[in-house]
Amino acid sequence: MPDAKQSIILGGLITGLLSTSYLGFINFICCLGVLIGTVVTIWHYTDTNELTISAGTGAKYGVFAALIGLGIATLLNFVLLQVGIDHTTAFNDFIIAKLGDTMPPEQIEAMEAAGEEAKSLSGILRGLGMGSVAFAIFGAIGGAIGAKMFKKGGDEPSDDVTIDEL
């Protein structure tokens, strides 16, 4: 099979950008940013090489693209936080403004504390850990969907792909 690195990096960039700062709110809709990025990975790969891949291969490529995207989003969010763009506090303020009258004070304090904790090194590492699971799952789903969407003719190959073929 042809090299997939370029397609995986492209999908990772898209996933990362769609998961950064305020754009990252798109991921509240079933990780839509991750799904879009990984479907683009498969579209680019199948279109560039004019081939059909199996859903399993699409899922593998989707996982790789999603994890690259998570790394990019984490790095960009950290940089944006350093220059004063704090989407977590803005989101918490929005929720409190809309629902604050119906929320107990303890819940508001817990939201604010969680927002501050998310900015610490341990919060960033915890976010990477939890994010890697979610991104991998939705990356695999997006890759499998992309493989079924973008068929370029011929029989669907088997899933006999090794990591060396990436």
pTM to 2 decimal places: 0.81
Express each pLDDT in 100-154 by its tens digit.
Answer: 788 888 888 888 888 777 778 888 888 899 999 999 999 999 999 999 999 876 6
- Residue 36 to residue 59: CA distance in whole angstroms: 13
Which pair of tokens denotes residue 110? 């817990």
Residue extents of the structural domains in the chain: 5-82+126-153
- With beta carbons less than 8 A apart as the criterion, state whether 13 and 73 touch: no
Q: What does pLDDT average to over the chain?
A: 87
Express each pLDDT in 30-45 by its tens digit.
Answer: 899 999 999 999 999 9
